[in-house]
Amino acid sequence: MPADAARLTRLTTLAVAVALVARLAFAFGYWVGKPLNNDELEYLHLGRNVAAGQGFTYAPVSGERVGAAGYGRAPLYPLFISIVARATSPATLVPAVKAAQCVLGALAVWLIAMIAKRAAGSRAQFAAGWIAALYPPLVWLPSFLFSESLYVVLALANVLWLDAAMAKREDPAPAKVRGVLIAGVQAGLSALTRPAHVFFVGVTALWLLVRRRPLQATAFVAAALLTIAPWTLRNYVTYGRPVLIASEGGITFWTGNHRLSPGEGDMAANPAIKIESQRIRDAHPGLTAEQLEPIYYREALRTIAAHPVWWLGLEIRKFFYLWVPVGPSYLLHSRLFLYATWLSYGLLAPFGLVGLWRLGRSVSPPRGLLLLLASAVVACLVFLPQERFRIPVIDPALIVGASGLVAVRRRNSVS
């Protein structure tokens, strides 16, 4: 058995190498010369400004005009771009970021395989590594300048470490708390990359409290909040009002809970909502994105309070679109892109869901991954479901679930 496990580990390492090649091939052999969307432009501009010593601002660089809205963003992904910018020239920045993200994508494959191994053994590790290496949505993710490429690595590492910390029941209390403290710091860094990870902090703390581990829950939340706190303080000094991480939350919440929302997709997929957003901006001329954030929240909460039955129906539609990729944002893609999504996700989802259910009832369930999945569901119901929000969390979880099916079945047949 040890020899077999070593062989499967070597094959998993090969899968990680294949993953890197596949991502580089897509990024530089197919997805070339494509225009950047609004989010990509904003991330790129922030990264350039940080590299130029101008801080996290949308101030023009070298006479460049900023056409984007300039919403406040979480800091770690622009910081990542700035590191790449310092090592490259302006002309090669975009391809350099894509190449670096391909490396992150390969690392994510290794993390998925390690989570599967911890949950169901070497066979699951092998299966998860190869599925993740060739799974189309994960292959094309690094080609876009989105924070999800960095977030997926940080979030999966957070899950892996948290599982290890919670599994050490024989360790003395101080050792358990140290492990959870490190997981809390990782959670804070993940949230500083993608603020929705705050939901993971809350869901995990609640789970620890239910499991009667108040010391671990307190340590986890405290470590996460202390990691986020310096950026929150910076926001308060800069904007004159509390902003936990980023001011984009207000408009995202408003977009996802608008009367015109079909239950999926941002303003790019729902142009009528974009017109309504401009109406709000026109009604409050001169206000920054940070000053507009509470206005968007208030507008959305008024809508929910005035139409509770409609809102419950909207939540049902959100839950449907969260799992079934047929919403407006998917239809913006080419047919080839759309069919590749439907085929790959359609094949993965049923096996992944059954596998996660079985792994959840196994001897060593992937608790951290299941908590991350639960937090992603909550975040999408509060805000909105979208392909970019699904791929970094739901798809890796489904891959682990699908890879565990064979291992769990084999283990049960042996017993």
pLDDT attached to residue 415: 38
Of 148, 193, 185, 150, nearest in space to 165 by CA: 185
Closest alpha carbon to 256 in 319, 169, 186 = 319
Q: At a CB cut-off of 8 Å and minimum separation 6, what does 339 contact? A: none
Domain boundaries of the chain, sorted by first residue:
2-414
| Digit-coded pLDDT (tens) for 231-278 | 999 999 998 888 999 988 999 999 999 999 999 998 888 999 999 999
Token pair 């682990």 is found at 400
pTM score, whole prediction: 0.93
Enter the DSSP assignment of 144: S
Residue 1 has pLDDT above 70, yes or no: no
Q: Which residues does 355 contact at the CB level (< 8 Å), separation at least 6?
A: 398, 400, 401, 402, 403, 404, 405, 408
Mean pLDDT, all residues of the chain: 92
Q: Average pLDDT in the 307-324 region? A: 97
CA–CA dist 124, 400 (Å, integer): 8
Q: Which of 313, 315, 408 is nearest to 355 (CA)?
A: 408
Cα–Cα distance, 294 to 353 (Å, whole number): 37
Higher-scoring residue by pLDDT: 67, 335: 335
